[in-house]
Structure 1
Amino acid sequence: MRPSDVPLDAVQEYAVKERVCIRPLLRRVIDRETGEAALVALPCQSTRESRCPSCAARARTLRMHQCIAGWHLEDEPDIPVRPKEPPRESEAVDDAATTRQGRTTRRRNDAADLPRRPQEDRTIGQVFHAGDGKTYRPSMFITLTLPGYGRIAPGTGTPQNWSDYDYRRAALDALHFPRLLDRWFQNLRRCAGFKVQYFGAVEGQRRLAPHFHVAVRGAIPRAVITQVTRATYHQVWWPQMSSPVYGDVLPVWDGLDYLDPHTGDPLQTWADALTELAEDEDAQPAHVMRFGRQLDVQGLLAGTPDADRSVRYLTKYLTKAVGETYVDQSRDSSYEAHIDRLHDEVRWLPCSPDCANWLRFGVQPRKAGPGLVPGRCLSKAHDREHLGVGGRRVLVSRGWSGKTLADHRADRAAVVREALEAAGIEVESARRMAAEVETPDGTGRFVWAAVVSSGGTSATVLMETVLERRRWREQYEYVKALAGADPPVDNHSATAATSMRRRAG
């Protein structure tokens, strides 16, 4: 049977087993020097298992490698220095208004004080010397949670009393969770006395509240972490968003401003709303959020089973959307109703100064323009599958490993390439069709164009990619066996293994 005769779903199932992208992006590449045209399949690089299991698993493995690379460093990493750019004029105005003329720099009266320690110019952890002459450089694994919004029925994830559950506060906490985490890291660095580095992931608890797992390099006293967590808070200095001004009849865009549908007057601009808030001495923040009482802190050493297990646990749900982590086999209609009620709050609350939902509250978004409709903000934070968590799932400090995610990806590819070249196996150049390659007259040699393919063409290209990836894997497993590494898994035909040995020998 020819590859073109195989059904696409069957080819995709086989591709998943071979860890090949099932949704490749097809590109036609024309070589201007030779006139030849080639069809190239690029991996979709999705991090979502529901879209492409192969790419998602590869992305998770890369994140695990990044986590391990920076967690237990013994030497200071080379941190690239980024030049500071002056803020744009609009940002400077917003920042000045948001700080409320210096009032927000003072801590709240109901918040505990934070201790200050002299700062050391280091990112690596402290070394501890034992009586037997051994030295230890421990690091930490911490889990942060949000507070409760009502009593949860045991084993269900749903409220015991639906009328008492504070869905609005739960939605606002989810929308602003990244800001609270940023504040926690700032406070932790001030109280720990050194430049704490971290690798963390945002996940969802069954009760639909996000929580945060984070690997922290170096040891910090548990009492300090507890104190920092209890004393950390985030205030949202935005216009009021508790009582919608407009319902079914919405403001109308006239080309310059959004107008009140009843009076025809322009709505208050975002800048004017912040100025009014800053000038009001009795104004209160629109929302104040803190962490919950539940806090888990573990000390770990490099190379121990607990450390390896923590890396897998930290990256466990990175291949799922936040909403997908809530799904389990026992979910029933009451749990679906719980998700719907939280989503209804998340959908209509503002997620940022540019959110279209501000029109409901009588304020024009910061970047007002035509086509804004409340309840239809493009931010993924409003989606049912995210339930307020619209930012990055993985938070990594710049000094974690001294490398970007792209650097780690290149390092992993270089290891494979060097091993193959050392064994005498020819490696095709990664830049053989790169857009940067030029002809002698200085023009681009390769021209790339997108391809809209039929199902049959996609199945054919996907099968060819699977066979090519299988050949590469056979070669690499053989090279590892020659180098004394783990022997390759013999799950391929004897003919393929024999031909591979001939190419290598």
Structure 2
Amino acid sequence: MTDRLDAGQSHASEDDEQPPGRGTSFDEVAVETAKRFGVCIRPMVLERTDTTTGAISHVPVPCGNTMEAVCPACARKAKALRLAQCREGWHLDHEPEIPRARATFDQTGLMYYRADLMVTLTEAESEGWTQDAEELRAEIVWVDKQLAALGMRGKAPAPQDITDAGIEVGPDPDTDADPDHDADSDSVSDRDTGRARSTRRCPDVPELPRNPIQNRTIGREYAGKFKPSMMITLTLDSYGRVDRDDGTPIDPDSYDYERAAWDAIWFARLFSRWIQNLRRVVGWNVQYFASVEPQRRGAPHAHIAIRGDIPHRIIRQVTQATYHQVWWPHPNEMVYHGARAPLWDREAKTFVDPDTRIPLQSWDAAMDSTWDYENPAHLVRFGTQVHSKGILGGTEEANRHIGYLCKYLTKSVSEVLEAKTPRQHAHYDRLHQALCRTPCSERCAVWLLYGIVPKGAKSRMQPGRCKARAHRRETLGLPGNRVLTSELWTGKTLGDHQADRMEFVRATLAAAGIDKPTPDPHRYTWSKLAPGTRIPSRAHLLMAAIAQRIAWRNEYDRAMLAAEPPPGPERSTATQYS
């Protein structure tokens, strides 16, 4: 016992020397211990109700943050799930199947009841029976809650949305919608106002063959056993010459920050169009796992794992022919700067000029006044640098590329693009300023700086201050989802992959005689705590989680030792005399 204490003291004196001054607090020690044992350091307490016994308890759950700087344990778990998802789907040798849930008898009965309520509601509103209509709406809301409780996904249309739109509940219309209509090429407002978009391709873009897409996701097989897949890297166009060492522009004044900001905001839409064109050219349902990362110059680029083999010539041809057009008002120059900003007029219910009190231009009026049939507000396309490589499954090269795809998933953009020189600081700051004056959507508050009232503008909207991720310094315009995956990559969600990992652990424990039954997901209901509810301190929650994690780890280690084969004669002899 004395030797163990002495060893621990000597180890602490060598590695854990504390600087002079105040020591660490109890909470700080608890947080560091939680990090050491892989426990979430930001647990959130929820109220759990047992539907069988009615017992109510307060249970801490992990925060689920994917950034290592915020919670290392949750970030590592999220990264492990992405690694498993990428590895399982990249060289899949069979078509994945997505189990589709079928409507139950109770769900169809409630839907039949809701249809009758809608017919009665339409009749009550046409006759002017206000009180009956209100009661019917309340009943429809109750039915929607019951359907959601029974497991129905999605949001049911509100009764007022259907009646306000003038949709008749009755026989089918005589004409059906065109199933081949491209929703991205036209919008309802554009059709109503008579604004048409040019459907001609850009003159410098080659024509792509358009083949019917077959219902398969597996690529070709070579020599009867080899099914290679691909690793592709796509980058955006150049905005000016940059230094190869630190990524900063050689001439910052000539660097096109405005186009860089627009391209970064629309990168995800451009990637979606690239996948669509690729599927039409090759003629089968290409599946992908892509990670979006920033280059040193601050522009996003994508590393894409493609299941199946596609000729490099087609990859380059599709990349060269892919572009995305933004059909918005043309923001020529900012009208308002600094403290001079539009004001909200309560009577007019819109934003007005701070000096003249004249209402600003509405969104539809701005679209009509700046609409150009041939020229969109912005055109984004990929650059000329395209890297594609075929990779066989189960090789060391495949494992290395899987690790590279998920390398920066736990790092924020500001951590990946750590500015170390004054030139880098100035470059990233100028890019962020360009993003702050670039609209990100039709409802972006940045439109007010250009004298245009965005869609859905309210009194709480602050001109030039949009809360979207595109305008944040820590994201620099990168899309919210750093990982982009197709639906049939594995046929599973992240929750399904997590359930597979938990089932593997349960099977390993069961083989060693440790029974961990699968909990019934319908037995408990979860809800947030009411304001003022007293809960244990953070340190106590962490200590309880650490003790639980140690117990789980000991059980798993015993199960792994029990699963190992018994030692042979040579190993027994070596163990005896060691």
Using the size of structure 1 for normalisation, the TM-score is 0.84
Pairing 1:286–2:381 present: no
- Map of 1:12 onto structure 2: 31
- Map of 1:137 onto structure 2: 227
One-letter identity of the residue aligned with 1:171 = A
**1:193/1:393 CA distance change after superposition, 3 Å:** same
Structure 1 segment 118-267 matched on structure 2, within 5 A:
118-129=212-223, 134-247=224-337, 248-255=339-346, 256-267=349-360
Distance in structure 1 (CA, Å) of the matches to 2:566 and 2:439: 54
Gaps of 5+ in 1: 439-443, 488-505
- Map of 2:366 onto structure 1: 273
- Map of 2:571 onto structure 1: none
Deviations for 1:446-502, whole angstroms, at most 9, x for unmatched residues?
A: 876368899982112201101211211221232223223999xxxxxxxxxxxxxxx
Deviations for 1:421-452, whole angstroms, at most 9, x for unmatched residues?
A: 23221326534xx6x427xxxxx7x8763688
Distance in structure 2 (CA, Å) of the matches to 1:356 and 1:449: 33
Match of residue 60, structure 1, among 76, 79, 85: 79
Aligned to 1:57, the other structure's residue is in SS state helix
1:30–1:448 contact (8 Å) kept in structure 2: no
**1:114/1:32 CA distance change after superposition, 3 Å:** closer
Match of residue 470, structure 1, among 531, 550, 561: 550
Match of residue 371, structure 1, among 448, 456, 460: 460
Pairing 1:114–2:208 present: yes
**1:351/1:29 CA distance change after superposition, 3 Å:** same
- Map of 1:43 onto structure 2: 62
Q: Which moved more, 1:252-261 or 1:399-408?
A: 252-261
- Map of 1:75 onto structure 2: 94
Aligned to 1:335, the other structure's residue is in SS state helix
**1:161/1:49 CA distance change after superposition, 3 Å:** same
Aligned to 2:537, the other structure's residue is in SS state helix
**1:60/1:84 CA distance change after superposition, 3 Å:** closer
One-letter identity of the residue aligned with 1:22 = I
Match of residue 397, structure 2, among 268, 287, 306: 306
**1:120/1:62 CA distance change after superposition, 3 Å:** same
Pairing 1:437–2:523 present: yes
- Map of 1:342 onto structure 2: 431
2:90–2:305 contact (8 Å) kept in structure 1: yes
Deviations for 1:50-93, whole angstroms, at most 9, x for unmatched residues?
A: 10011001001101111112111111111467999999979952
Larger Cα-atom Rg: 2
**1:304/1:32 CA distance change after superposition, 3 Å:** closer
Match of residue 196, structure 2, among 88, 101, 108: 101
Pairing 1:25–2:44 present: yes
What number of residue pairs does the alignment pair up?
465
- Map of 1:502 onto structure 2: none
Match of residue 487, structure 2, among 387, 398, 406: 398
2:448–2:464 contact (8 Å) kept in structure 1: no
Aligned to 2:253, the other structure's residue is in SS state helix
Match of residue 498, structure 2, among 384, 409, 412: 409
Shift of 1:269: 2.0
Q: Which moved more, 1:195-204 or 1:240-249?
A: 240-249
Distance in structure 2 (CA, Å) of the matches to 1:226 and 1:486: 56
- Map of 2:410 onto structure 1: 319
One-letter identity of the residue aligned with 1:391 = G
Shift of 1:321: 1.7
Deviations for 1:244-276, whole angstroms, at most 9, x for unmatched residues?
A: 122242222223222233333322222333344
Q: Which moved more, 1:145-154 or 1:89-98?
A: 89-98
Q: Which moved more, 1:80-89 or 1:56-65?
A: 80-89
Distance in structure 2 (CA, Å) of the matches to 1:204 and 1:123: 29
Distance in structure 2 (CA, Å) of the matches to 1:457 and 1:477: 31
One-letter identity of the residue aligned with 1:216 = I
Structure 1 segment 418-437 matched on structure 2, within 5 A:
418-427=507-516, 430-431=519-520, 436-437=522-523
One-letter identity of the residue aligned with 1:409 = Q
Distance in structure 1 (CA, Å) of the matches to 2:57 and 2:154: 43
Distance in structure 1 (CA, Å) of the matches to 2:384 and 2:245: 20
Distance in structure 1 (CA, Å) of the matches to 2:196 and 2:352: 30
- Map of 1:497 onto structure 2: none
Aligned to 1:461, the other structure's residue is in SS state helix
Deviations for 1:34-62, whole angstroms, at most 9, x for unmatched residues?
A: 78664422100000111001100100110
- Map of 2:529 onto structure 1: 449
Match of residue 351, structure 1, among 420, 440, 443: 440
One-letter identity of the residue aligned with 2:505 = V
Pairing 1:385–2:468 present: no
Distance in structure 1 (CA, Å) of the matches to 2:194 and 2:28: 55
Matched residues, percent identical? 45
Distance in structure 2 (CA, Å) of the matches to 1:249 and 1:466: 54
